[in-house]
Amino acid sequence: KAWSLENFDIGRALGKGKFGSVYLARERQTKFILALKVLFKKQLEKAGVEHQLRREVEIQSHLRHPNILRLYGYFHDAARVYLILEFAPKGELYGELQRCGTFDDQRSATYIMELADALNYCHSKNVIHRDIKPENLLLGANGELKIADFGWSVHTPSSRRSTLCGTLDYLPPEMIEGKTHDEKVDLWSLGVLCYEFLVGRPPFETKTHEETYRKISRVEFTYPAHVSEGSRDLINRLLKHNPMHRLPIQQVLVHPWVVENS
Contacts 24+ apart (CB under 8 A), 157-160: 157/17, 157/18, 158/92, 158/94, 160/94, 160/135
Task: Give the Cα separation of 237 and 257 in Å (integer).
Answer: 12
Do 46 and 147 fall into the same domain?
no
Residues at the binding site are: 18, 37, 86-88, 135-136, 149
Last residue of a domain, one of 45, 63, 85: 85
Name the domain count of the chain. Answer: 2
Predicted pLDDT at 164? 41
pLDDT at residue 199 tops 80: yes
Average pLDDT over all residues of the chain: 89
Residues carrying an active site annotation = 131
Instruction: Give yes or no: residues 166 and 229 share one domain.
Output: yes
Helix H or strand E encompassing 96: helix 93-100
CATH code: domain of residue 53: 3.30.200.20
User: pLDDT at residue 137 above 70?
Assistant: yes
Residue range 143-161, pLDDT digits in tens: 999 998 765 433 333 434 4
Domain with 105 in it = 93-261
Average pLDDT, integer, range 31-57: 91
Are 106 and 70 found together in one domain?
Answer: no
Provide CB contacts within 8 A for 86, sequence distance 6+.
34, 35, 69, 70, 71, 72, 146
Q: pLDDT digit string (tens) for 95-115?
A: 999 999 999 999 999 999 999
What CATH number does residue 105 fall under? 1.10.510.10
Task: Choose among 148, 84, 89, 87: nearest CA to 114.
Answer: 148
Predicted local confidence at residue 167, as pLDDT:
64
How much is the pLDDT for 150? 64
Banded model confidence at residue 162, pLDDT cuts 50, 70, 90: very low
pLDDT 10s digits, 216-232? 999 999 999 999 999 99
Q: Which of 9-23, 171-185, 190-204, 223-237 has the lowest mean pLDDT?
A: 171-185
Question: Which residue type occupies 106?
Answer: Q
Is the pTM value of this prediction over 0.95? no
In the listed set 68, 85, 102, which residue is the last one of a domain according to the structure?
Answer: 85
175-189, 217-231, 241-255: least confident range: 175-189
Averaged pLDDT for residues 69-77? 95
Annotated binding site for ATP: 18, 37, 86-88, 135-136, 149
* Residues 52 and 135 both lie in one domain: no
Which of the four pLDDT bands, split at 50, 70 and 90, describes residue 54?
confident
User: What pLDDT is recorded for position 148?
Assistant: 86
More confident residue, 160 or 260: 260
